[in-house]
Structure 1
Amino acid sequence: MNPVPTAPADLRRSLADHLRSTGAIKSDQWYEAFAAVPREAFVRAFAVGSQHGPVHLTPEDPRWLSTVYTDDALLTRFDAAGVPTSSSTLPTLMALMLEALDVADGNRVLEVATGTGYNAALLSHRAGDENVTTIEVDPDLARSAEQRLDRAGYRPTVLVGDGRAGHPDGGPYDRLIATCGFTGIPPTWLEQVVPGGIIVCPVGGGVVRLVVRKGGTATGAFLPDAAFFMPVRGIGDNGTPPVPPPLPHSCSSRPCFVEPTDLLDDGIHFLLTLAVPRAMSRFTYDDAGDIAAVHLWQPDGAWAELRHGIARQAGPRRILDTVETAVAAHKAAGRPPRERYRLRVDAGRQWVSVADSDGPTWELS
């Protein structure tokens, strides 16, 4: 029996072996990056999720180092209410996205959302410090990440700013990767990535890989794996209210063929993250513990409740009308997986559709 690795270098190699065995890593270059870059240098204190809530670990805990090298997302920052606001991404997902980025020698790379700095270190190991620029909206996170990168021996360009604007002064870029969640591709990115360049970005509940074309257009498909990232933030962003708004005084009511349990289907849920962007949902349960209803709401005040086949809606848009169209299209297309969905960006507008389908398209915002 092989001994369980305990030294950092052995743990790094073990994680890289795991990522290669699952197919997340396919190239020698990314294998060597994961085997070389010390994840523990970027996540000194963190929490991991459990059925009883987050478990917080520090270097003083004997479980700390081994947990650093598990294939888990590590929560590294929380707001005053205890909601996670920054994390070190699941290594499998990091590897899948980096492989999809297809970095070649000499490529200039822009990373949006520096976070802990671990992903920037992996990029620097592969592409070279001089070819990597990373941008972070939170000045404290950017400063801490730059210090961690420096101590680990990596010196990419670390900037403070809104990643949605990119960094035109450092372009053009051959590759752009984002590590926070978006509802669509910022058009400015297409101006900063060369024709033939690649953008890898979390959109909705998935990750899209786009190839940029001349004239500010881009097309691509989603990766097959689910992905849920911290949402992109700008200065002063308030985001979606975390709890449903008060019940409107007046709302429309009609029959609806969608059942609340339909929203538990992974394929439907993925499509709804695109068709109903920035929506929050909450299920309520009956005395027997079964789902009785689902509430949906958006930042602009749109509100919906689906209960026993009855849709109630209010606000500036009818959320459940869109939900019905999406559910019907998903079923009519044979419940397609993520990789059958395509994203096209053209003239500042962008649409998602199912490949080889005459069904509807959904315009992203």
Structure 2
Amino acid sequence: MGTHLERYAEPADEARAAMVRVIAAEGGLSDPAWRLAFEEVPRHLFVPYYYVNWAGTYERLWNEDPDPARRERWLRGAYYDGPLATRVRDGELISSSSQPSLMARMLEALEVRYGDDVLEIGAGTGYNAALLCHRLGDEHVTTIDVEPEITESARAHLAAAGYRPAVVTGDGARGCPGRAPFDRIIATCTLPSIPYDWLPQCRPEARILAPLSTGLIALRVRDDSRGRFAEGRFLRTSAYFVPLRGGGAPPEGRSGRLPRRAIENDLFRFLLTLTEGSLDPREALSLWERERRPRRDRFGITVSGRHQWAWLDDPGGPYIWPLGHQAAG
């Protein structure tokens, strides 16, 4: 392993520094602690191989390729500011390493404090968990995934980089009660709704950040006379992730007979997915046009008891609808 690390040390350092400069130039990594984490955690150790999609066919790049030019492509790609396909099964992507700039935005939006205990849903390559460990310490980080082969490789990647958080094989939709309570929960896979099992595993004022529809929802967990609930708004940014496995797949989108200008609009597709199962696509289009094509950050979600609903502008109305695919657990 030492020889392998030495072989790539200098070019990896240069590529990593360039990646950080790109993210910072786009407005990311304003928090010095997160910038230091991205500067020091070696992403290439977490993607010893990955797949590049060429016209529907996946090409594998890996760190031990006998061709030096292909090894160089692998290393450059490991520090490209884009997602990397890391596991493909029967032609279907089942795991990836997220775009670093999106990871940076999510980690900053998580608003961690030193001493916070964090649960990550979706272990992936282990890279995101390593960034959390760099910031908080290994003992404060738990990452979970339903696929044993994913947790096994994530654990190995983390150890190679010098990090040893709790890596758990299990259904992330049910959280990780054995490691609870948590101050923060971050998901790196798209959810159909917020799993109810997460809330009892949170401390009061915990923050949940998760991809839902094609956006990122940021929820604050609180207690009141009605009991435990969570509420918050979507961030403005778009987000596309591999769906959560084990907690039920999100429903298929239905465009109906809608105009092309709407179907091709990213903001409308977000609303269409968010209202699926609750609003007819034409009703969603009418709402979107009436409200002058609202951005994601005008929408929010409330989770209370065994119910959860999405809303526009105000959790109390007038535009409220139940999430079409209620969470199990």
TM-score range relative to shorter protein: 0.7 to 0.9
Report SS of the residue matched to 1:182. coil
Q: Which amino acid aligns with 2:286?
A: A
Equivalent in the alignment of 1:108: 117
Unaligned ranges ≥5, structure 2: 1-8
Report SS of the residue matched to 2:280. helix
Equivalent in the alignment of 1:268: 268
Greater shift, 339-348 or 148-157, is seen at: 339-348
Q: Flag the structure with more relative contact order, 1 or 2, with Cα contacts below 8 A and sequence separation at least 6.
A: 2
1:150 aligns with 2:189: no
Equivalent in the alignment of 2:237: 225
Percent sequence identity is: 39
Equivalent in the alignment of 1:211: 220
In structure 2, how many angstroms separate the alpha carbons of the residues matched to 1:102 and 1:241? 32
Q: Which has the larger radius of gyration?
A: 1
Equivalent in the alignment of 1:79: 89
In structure 2, how many angstroms separate the alpha carbons of the residues matched to 1:51 and 1:26? 37
TM-score (norm 2): 0.87
1:136 aligns with 2:145: yes
Q: Which amino acid aligns with 2:319?
A: P
* Partner of residue 177 from structure 1, selected from 159, 175, 186: 186
1:68 aligns with 2:68: no
Report SS of the residue matched to 2:101. helix
Greater shift, 258-267 or 50-59, is seen at: 50-59
Equivalent in the alignment of 2:300: 342
1:354 aligns with 2:312: yes
In structure 2, how many angstroms separate the alpha carbons of the residues matched to 1:168 and 1:102? 22
Describe the superposition over 1:231-273 as per-residue Cα deviations: whole angstroms up to 9, x where unpaired: 11118x687689x9xxxxxxxxxxx873254211111100111
- How many residue pairs match? The answer is 305
Greater shift, 333-342 or 347-356, is seen at: 347-356
Structure 1 residue 344, shift from structure 2 partner: 1.2
* Partner of residue 159 from structure 1, selected from 164, 168, 181: 168
Q: Is the CA contact (8 Å cut-off) linking 1:46 and 1:58 kept in structure 2?
A: yes
Unaligned ranges ≥5, structure 1: 245-255, 278-318
1:90 aligns with 2:99: yes
Structure 1 residue 327, shift from structure 2 partner: 1.0
Report SS of the residue matched to 1:216. strand
* Partner of residue 202 from structure 1, selected from 204, 211, 216: 211
* Partner of residue 289 from structure 2, selected from 331, 339, 349: 331
In structure 1, how many angstroms separate the alpha carbons of the residues matched to 2:272 and 2:170? 30
Equivalent in the alignment of 1:57: 61
In structure 2, how many angstroms separate the alpha carbons of the residues matched to 1:114 and 1:33? 18
Q: Is the CA contact (8 Å cut-off) linking 2:192 and 2:251 kept in structure 1?
A: no
Report SS of the residue matched to 2:237. coil
Greater shift, 188-197 or 54-63, is seen at: 54-63
Where do residues 275-354 of structure 1 align in structure 2 (5 Å cutoff)?
275-276=275-276, 322-354=280-312
**Quick check: which one's helix share is greater?**
2
